[in-house]
Amino acid sequence: MKYIKLLIKIILISISTLGICVIIYFLAARGLSNITVNEIQEEPQEFTMYLTTNGMHTDFVFPVKSDLIDWSKELKFEHTKEQRRNFAYIALGWGDKGFFLDVEDWDNVKPGIAINAVFGLGTTAIHSTYLSNIELDENTREVKLSKQQYQILIDYIVSSFKRDTDNNIINIKTDKAYGLNDSFYEGEGKYSFLYTCNTWANSGLKKAKMKACLWTPFQEGIFRKYNL
């Protein structure tokens, strides 16, 4: 009986500690995401890009071709199911590889995938989607930026792709694409509850000296910085 009481006590303490940690996490996420860095933009904002979200995940959206980069040179149209070429934009997002490839429904996430993602035990990937057009709405924001900011953001994203020994981006061969015009690539870095897909996007904005959250694991903080 003595050991049973001790076990119950340990379980209750563990549950309470976990609950407190979760509360602190969400409070920190809310508080730090409300703090804006790089709020004042002094350079000429001559370029346009977009931020999009599906409610959970943030993507950067760029013209496929610009004076600074042609994304299709490495993220080839041939990597998509349809292999169509006449697209105007490309959406790019980083995240946990297991979630990208093996989670079809957020209501049916396998425990192993969730644990790997939360604690940084898995690998990462970049998801690219070719788009014909952009429509501004509550899930899509237009963002103006300078040429220097644009180049820094491009360099940040390019550095997030894992490369093979020949310095080529590694396309993930899979039949689990979300549509006809998207593909996956091996990514650099580790996903965790402290560094999520949205933290990655926010870190890119910070590095480019664009408006961003001090820290955020969620997309809401980023989108509060860029109103419609």
Note the pTM of the prediction, 2 decimals: 0.93
Cβ density class 154-193: b for 16+ within 10 Å, e for less: bebbeebbeeeeeeebebbeeeebeeebbbbbbbeeebbe
The structure tokens 């370029």 sit at 47
Over residues 172-191, the pLDDT tens digits come to 999 888 999 999 999 999 99
Rounded Cα distance, 64 and 66, in Å: 7
Three-class SS state of 54 = coil
What does each of the 228 residues of the chain score in pLDDT, given as a tens digit?
667 777 777 888 888 788 888 899 989 999 999 999 999 888 888 999 999 999 999 999 999 999 999 999 999 999 999 999 999 999 999 999 999 998 877 667 788 888 888 888 999 999 999 999 999 999 999 999 999 999 999 999 999 999 999 999 999 999 888 999 999 999 999 999 999 999 999 999 999 999 999 999 999 999 999 987
Domain boundaries, the chain: 45-225
Rounded Cα distance, 95 and 189, in Å: 9
pLDDT value at position 106? 67
